[in-house]
Amino acid sequence: MFLFLALTVSSGQEITLLKNFNPKAKELIHNLNYSGDSLILQSEKSIIKIDFFNEDYEKIIEINDYEAQISLDEIPIGKFVIEVKLDNKIIVMDIIKYKQIDHTDNSNLTHNNEETAEGKGMMLDDKLNLIKLTPKNSIEFLLTREKAKINRNKKEKFYWTLTKINNESGASKTMKLVQKESAERMILKNKIEHNSASGKLNELIIWEVYDTTKFMENQVSNPDFVYSSSSDIFNTSPYYSTKKDIQKP
């Protein structure tokens, strides 16, 4: 089960957290800490892991505890999706880092910097990046300079996956955005399951995504978007499908 975010903001001077206020996500408390340089997580259910990612970066941290404080120092500048995996669901939120955190002078940080701004007006650019009123550098520079460095190397590919589990206990469906390495692992697992009695009815469909930001905007607002007949932001012909690649007549 995936729970997508609502536009509610917790903000420090260098980082903005777009919190998830879906009622089904209330069991996970998630905020920035007092100084705005760490993500605080608390839940009555075990937090398995947390995954930070965008088109150019991914960091997975194993938690296996009921609370955690994750330093954001090593996260590069840019906008990231955060997936927090609990025992029974995955809760999604966004975080934007405007500049590298400087710990040499924290004298100007006050409790007012860490606030929940629900209901306040926000200005977003065409990629839904939050625009601050008086940034020292242009938003375009802040959000792309790190990306420009990384793009000299091979660009990471992303895929939208739909997994259907069908067994004696019932049926469930999971949707997730993953990198190519994870997608290939899922394909291998699906092929192995298909040869087993317990997993032969499981299904996996994977689509390659060209623009993750625009894709997620459309997919969240319309769950059937992935079944579009044509699109410029993802390949409508599945990269992999159990029915096409395995369950052939």
Domain shared by 146 and 197, yes or no: no
Asked if 33 and 72 sit in the same domain, the reply is yes
Q: What is the pLDDT of residue 208?
A: 95
CA-based Rg of the chain, rounded to a whole angstrom? 19
When pLDDT is cut at 50, 70 and 90, the band that residue 230 belongs to is very high
Whether 92 and 146 map to the same domain: the answer is yes
| Residue at which a domain ends, from 150, 167, 197 | 150
Q: What is the mean pLDDT of the chain?
A: 75
Give yes or no: residues 16 and 75 share one domain.
Answer: yes
pLDDT of residue 103: 54
Residue that terminates a domain, selected from 97, 122, 150: 150
pLDDT digits (tens, 9 = 90+) for 40-50: 999 988 999 99
φ/ψ bin of 232: left (φ > 0), alpha (ψ from -120 to 50), beta (otherwise): alpha
- Out of 117, 150, 183, pick the residue that ends a domain: 150
Cβ proximity of 38 and 103 under 8 Å:
no
- pLDDT tier, 102 (very low <50, low <70, confident <90, very high otherwise): low
**Residue 140: what pLDDT?**
40
Same domain, 125 and 24: yes
Residue 85 clears pLDDT 60, i.e. is over it: yes
- Of 27-31, 106-110, 169-173, 208-212, give the lowest mean pLDDT range: 106-110
**Structural domain containing residue 120:** 2-150
- Distance of alpha carbon 226 from alpha carbon 210, whole angstroms: 13
User: In 70-87, which positions are buried (b, 16+ CB within 10 angstroms) versus exposed (e)?
Assistant: bebeebbbbbbbbbbbbe
Task: Give the model confidence (pLDDT) of 129-142 as tens digits.
Answer: 554 444 444 434 44
Write down the pLDDT at residue 226. 93
Dihedral (C-alpha) 111, 117, 123, 128: value to the nearest 10 degrees?
100
Count the domains in the chain.
2
Would the pLDDT of 116 be above 80?
Answer: no
188 pLDDT higher than 50:
yes
pLDDT at 210: 94
Number of other CB atoms surrounding residue 136 within 10 Å:
9
